[in-house]
Amino acid sequence: MSDEGTTQYGAVVEQLALGRRFLRRALGPCGTPRVAWQLDPFGHAREHAAIFAQMGYDGLFLGRVDHEDKVAREDARRLELLWRGSDSLEAPDADIFTGASPP
């Protein structure tokens, strides 16, 4: 998980690339993650969703979601969605399957 408090796009990409490179070296090709998990950031940036999608991730799961939003999504059975990470990129280049982890 990269730091969502990072204010520069390049730093986010660098953190993600560094982590993926470490996993590939340590575990081989099967160590390349296909699903991202953002355990505990305060808020979620759509730019991160777009970056994950462009890096080849199949999905993104969020560990912390606003409690009122989560209750509303649970009630409506909408904890999962296709997140549109960018309005300027054509679908599906920045689209990623996203789910909020249940309690």
Q: Is the pLDDT of residue 3 over 70?
A: no
CA–CA separation, 68 and 97 (whole Å): 21
For this structure, is 58 an active site residue?
no
Q: Which of 40, 75, 93, 95 is catalytic?
A: 40
> 79-92: per-residue pLDDT in tens?
999 999 999 999 99
Strands 80-84 and 95-100, bridge-based pairing: antiparallel
The amino acid occupying position 21 is R
Whether the model pTM is above 0.85: no
Higher pLDDT, 39 or 67: 67
